[in-house]
Structure 1
């Protein structure tokens, strides 16, 4: 075990599971360790995630505790995943970065369904708005957002242009990012892009109250090839993440449909955008 070992949340969950198995059988650390051939100290360190739980050790505990096979096999798979991730990190293997890759998916997609909670969708942001929103302290993220906007612009002239459906709450229009001049330019730009036949903008009015996916922005991408599943993209200021399991992307699609049903229509949304711009 490396001296600088720090357990991941997955490894801590595995430790809790091992302790749960033992407690269910009302065994002390000494009794359980004697049955499996471990010292009580080793078993304690595994349960408290003070050291990694090797898959073979998890398998041995599952067998000794007479845990149903599917249950201990599932924990062994988690231990294998944790072991692989730790080895990769120790070897400094490069990790795939969805935030850096996202622009490529924008180029490849046939449609984007975008829900934002506090900012104008990245594909429609002007440079001044992006700089102000990022407080100019994150040049890498600013560059990535710029690339996303440019990717959408480049697709406008395609034979099969990218379709963008965007939904966001009214608060996005009222938050004066970058000052009145920058914000007014951004709102006027939204009005301009809404004229494209491949763009749909809908605003959730303040009077709507709670709405689906509240506080959880996401982008759902669809692709032309049958072999390519839909992808949901979520991003914070720390990192971006892809979700590709059909069940999860379907949840996003359902939330988006609910948002569209609750939001104002495109015409009423445009009027609200124009109203917000006129007030600046």
Structure 2
């Protein structure tokens, strides 16, 4: 394994698939390794994307686990493509959909820095609010956003909960979505979640003028493994996209730090949210 190995999101997705195959067959790492001729350490590193999964190794696991041929062949193709990405630095292709994979990264992340421009951050959206936003949109995307919200909620009481820092402009609080009742419930929920010690909510006031990343929402995810770099996630109604190049994710981190400086503090932001809720 290269000393400077950093797993791409595609390689992480492949690792999750391999772990899923083993879990479905209720095999321990040791048992599975013995069957395929790998050490349990190697298998663990493949599943956790701490080392690349070679296509031939994926093929061997598919054969040993008796995975249906079309299924293991699809994962082998992804492994081959991941190998090409690593050796040729090509962009992710149609074999991998970041929008579909995003919720998996939310489950794996230890930190989430979210900047939205016109909506409450997806992790904090109530179903009524989310449904109003997406009522004329793709139902698949609606379901994915619900899974993101549930992923955060499920981790609130974890021993290693997900830390969420959110920044958005004041206009998000004033834009009534789903009617007065739905919007008020959403703002009250935002106040409630902001009281969690792992959550920071800051609002950019409308008199702040221009600010970093204006009009360009993004989510920056951080992970516990040294081999997993920060990942920025960008999404439009057309598609989602991961940005993984360290220089670019560092730019996102700097923009986010700039936003936090311009935004109101958490206490003042909470007061502004309460004021907006009282006005409804």
Question: Normalising TM by the smaller chain, what interval?
Answer: 0.5 to 0.7
**Aligned equivalents of 2:229, 2:275: Cα separation in 1:** 39
1:226 aligned partner: 226
The alpha-carbon deviation at position 206 of structure 1 amounts to 0.2
Deviations 1:130-165 (A, max 9, x none): 011113432111100000000000011110100000
- String of CA shifts for 1:219-274, please: whole Å, max 9, x gaps: 00000000000000000011000000000000000000000000000000000000
Task: Give the whole-Å Cα distance in 2 for the aligned partners of 1:137 and 1:112.
Answer: 25
Are 1:278 and 2:275 an aligned pair? no
For structure 2, list consecutive stretches of 5 or more residues without a partner in the other structure: 1-87
Correspondence for 2:248: 248
Give the CA RMSD over aligned residues: 2.3
Q: Which moved more, 1:133-142 or 1:242-251?
A: 133-142
Q: How many residues align?
A: 196
Q: Which structure 2 residues correspond to residues 103-252 of structure 1 after superposition, within 5 A?
A: 103-252=103-252
Q: How does 1:85-104 map to 2 (within 5 A)?
A: 95-104=95-104
The answer as to 2:268 corresponding to 1:268 is yes
- Name the residue aligned to 2:45: none
Runs of 4+ in 1 over 6 A off after TM superposition: none
> Which consecutive residues of structure 1, in runs of 5 or more, have no partner in the other structure?
1-80
In 1, Cα distance between equivalents of 2:184 and 2:246: 39
Paired with 1:103 and 1:184, the residues of 2 have a C-alpha distance of 27
Q: Distance in 1 between matches of 2:138 and 2:236?
A: 13
C-alpha separation between the residues in 2 aligned to 1:190 and 1:277? 10
